[in-house]
Amino acid sequence: MFNFKCPFRNKCVSERRVVGWWTKHEGLSSRLISRASKMDDSIQPLFTFGVIADIQYADIDDGYNFTHTRKRYYRNSLQLLRRANEKWKTETVQPSFILQLGDIIDGFNKKYEASQKALDTVLTEFDRTGIAVHHVWGNHEFYNFSRQDLITSLNSQNTDFAMREDEIKQKHPDNEQSYAYHFSPAPNFRFVVLDAYDVSLIGRQENSEQYNQALKILQEHNGNYDLNQPPAYSGLEQRFVKFNGGFGQDQLEWLDRLLSLSDQKLEKVTIVSHLPIHPSSTDPVCLAWNYDDVLSILYSHKSVVCFMAGHDHDGGYHQDISGIHHLTFEGVIETRPNNDAFGTVYVYEDRMKLKGNGRVPHRSLNYE
């Protein structure tokens, strides 16, 4: 779609067995014959990390989503983050880091000129854990701040931690400040943070190449006056809305090169982005515009084991044909005050184990 010249688009990918996962939601946890049931919790993980998505904090009364189908608990989302922090602090194996998958505060803050105050409030809450946080940028970040603001206030890519043990000096080319980087928290494991709003109408200046590319894509696919209205009632075309975005060619080529190095080093790679990239892991209205370009790259690298995203508050999961686990995390903002939405991932040599809380189900994620 973005004319990304992908040499591996037609690469044959063999179907792998879909085994070893389970979900509370599907009621299979006790019956599904999988390696999950044989896990020995006494085995010490190599490391653990926390995951939380779509906090969307605002100091305002509860409201509803765009279609008035889901209640949003703007103020209480901070309490849910606090509970997540308390849980992470008491984990037997302290999380090495936390992945904040984007939409850390809600766009309503802009209307009330409370953006910085709301961000400070949430970051202060994160700081209480003393655990490093990797921040992904979502659409609500851009409703509140410019890219330049975020580089200053919500940027985890240049921390010592992010680049620790990082032998790959090549970072994402700074083409108008795309926000993508990688880090290795332990030998043989790498995490990649992607910028899903690289090509977008939000967060890009109107005279930029990325803005104009995004405008062209949306004009081609969405005839609505309000570009936040999906152009179709069903199917993948729904994704062509203003609140989504895409990955630029530079970023995709950078990702491809990075994964080639990870392949050589026999690393296990987890990629994170605000937008999901597999149609079976999300409602299509939340899918990245050029999700297929990213999937093509992932399928050509044996190092990728997992893709984590937020944005779709209902969450989702799918293990694709190459064995990659696609997790879309349930959003905090639409989680009732007496419930939870966060997880801790235990990483082992042969698998990851997601210990979910509240709406986030437990999952065993075997490396295929």
Minimum CB distance to Zn ion smaller for 109 or for 139: 139
User: With contact defined as beta carbons under 8 Å apart, do 276 and 316 qualify?
Assistant: yes
Task: Using the minimum distance from each CB to Zn ion, give the nearer residue, 196 or 252.
Answer: 196
Distance CA 200, CA 210 (A): 6
Distance in angstroms (rounded) separating the CA atoms of residues 145 and 136: 14
Q: How far is the CB of 23 from Zn ion (least distance, A)?
A: 23
Q: Minimum CB separation from Zn ion for residue 103, in Å?
A: 4
Q: Min. distance of Cβ 310 from Zn ion in angstroms?
A: 6
Provide the 3-class DSSP secondary structure of residue 259. helix
Question: Residue 339 in contact with residue 71, Cβ under 8 Å?
Answer: no
- Considering only 95, 103, 114, 282, the residue that binds Zn ion (CB under 5 A) is 103
**Window contacting Zn ion (CB under 5 A); options: 139-147, 158-166, 180-188, 254-262:** 139-147
**138 near Zn ion (CB under 5 A):** yes
C-alpha R_g of the chain:
19
Instruction: Locate 140 and state its tokens.
Output: 């609500």
Phi and psi torsions of 297, nearest 5°: -65, -45
Q: Does 135 bind Zn ion (CB under 5 A)?
A: no
3-state secondary structure of 149: helix
Q: Least separation, in Å, of the C-beta of 186 and Zn ion?
A: 29
The pattern of x and - marking residues 276 through 315 that bind Zn ion according to CB under 5 A reads -----------------------------------x----
- Told to check if 323 binds Zn ion by CB under 5 A, we report no
Kindly state the smallest distance separating residue 331's Cβ from Zn ion, in Å.
8
Shortest CB 116 distance to Zn ion, Å: 20
Instruction: Give the full edge-to-edge strand order of the sheet including 363-366.
Output: 133-135, 97-100, 47-52, 341-347, 351-358, 363-366
Residue list 2-31, contact with Zn ion (CB under 5 A) = none
Closest CA to 330 of 276, 270, 269: 276
Positions in the binding site for Zn ion (CB under 5 A):
103, 138-139, 311
